[in-house]
Each structure stands twice: as C-alpha cells, then as structure tokens.
Amino acid sequence: MNTSPPPVRPLRTPSLTAGAALILMAVLGVFGSVVVVQGLVTPGDAVRTATDIAAAQTLFRSGVAALIAVAVLDVVVAAALYSVFESVNRAVATAAAWFRVAYAAVLMAATGHLALVVDRLDEPEAVLAATEVFDSVWGLALGVFGVHLLIIGWLAVKADFIHAAFGVLLVVAGLGYLADSLGAVLFSGYAFQAAVFTFVGEIALIAWLLAKGSRVVLPVRVHSWSG
C-alpha cells in the first residue's frame, strides 16, 4: 500500500517573481515614460524638445534604459504568470504568455527609436519625430497588452485558487487598454485614456500574487494509462 502524500506544486516562486517584477516595472515605467519622456518632450515643439533633452542627456539615457528594463521584465512576468495559471488551461496560459512577449518585443522596438535620439540632437525635427513614433507604436502595443490581460482575466475567473472578482477586474483593465489602442486608430485626436480608470485589476493582481498566490499549493495531476 502506497502511503506517500500526493505530489503538490506550490505557486510561491512564480507568484513572488511576477508580483515583485510587476512592482519594479511600475516604478521603472513611471520613471521612463512619465518623468523622462513626458517631462522632456514638448509635443509640437521640436527645438525645445531637442534643447531639453540635450540639457539632460544622462536623465534621458536613464529613462531609455528603464523602458528597456520594463520590456525585459515583461518577458519574466509572462513566464511567471504562465506557471501560475497553466493548471487552469495550459493552451490558454501559453497564449497569454505569448501575447505579453509580443507586447514586450514591440515596446523594445519602440524604445529603440528613443535610443537614437541622443545622437541626433542637432536635428530637432528628427528628435521630435522619434519621440512621436515611440508614443504611437507603444500606444498600439498596449492593445496587445490588453488582450493579454483579457486572457489572464479569463484564466482567473476559471481558476479555483483565486476569486473570480480578480478575473473580472483584469478583464475590465484589458478592455481599457484595448479601447485606448483602438480609439487612437479609429479617431483622429483621440485623447481619452480609459486605462487610467480601469487599471485597478493590475493592482489587485499584484496584491494577490504577493499576499495570497505565494501561499497557494496545487495538487499535481498524475495521468495514468491502463491497457
């Protein structure tokens, strides 16, 4: 008679990894996009933008580095969340991970335009154009990120180790990003930022990963065949 306990899989490592990475990403993202890019770029004014960046080149380079780090951490989070939710539906969890990786790749490509700015400060129009390309490409990429959140939300609703309310909030957050991304494509001069009001799901997920997810232990499904 086999009296050994059934095999289990704790979610501590992937949950803590995802939660910590998401917090670090939030800090780096705010620094890179808000403090640096928005702080140094004056929309429509190429000369002032180039002048301000030239006067704060170290800060600008730091902001670019922060955004690159965000893209790398996105890949880490994609892998960690896959590990958290794969037991719900492996195929769907895989799709969620790839959508986030795709978003990270586009963010990295968009940030590449900013990385070239410091070498072209004597061409103000080119500098402003590069920042505009970054902004536009990242905005479109957030639609891909929104799809990732929709899928993670679905997985959270279906999972029995996290309350369905977290999944609903993640779906709402994903819809906010999708609305902003599609709005920018469909409507000229679109300025409303739905994600500013729907991001609560992301905060809730971080809190769950660090406080609850790290304590979840799942049974390992053992498949057997008889013949």
pLDDT tens digit sequence for 11-31: 999 999 999 999 999 999 999
pLDDT band, residue 226 (cuts 50/70/90): very low
Token output for 141: 């990429």
Compute φ and ψ for 206, nearest 5 degrees: -60, -45
For tokens 């304590």, what's the residue? Answer: 215
Q: What gap in Å lies between CA 206 and CA 214, rounded to an integer?
A: 11
Q: Identify residue 89 by its one-letter amino acid code.
A: N
Q: What gap in Å lies between CA 145 and CA 100, rounded to an integer?
A: 6
Q: What is the pLDDT of residues 138-185, one digit of tens each?
A: 989 999 999 999 999 999 999 999 999 999 999 999 999 999 888 887
pTM attached to this predicted model: 0.91
pLDDT of res. 59: 96
- Residue of 55, 29, 52, 31 whose CA lies nearest to 41: 52
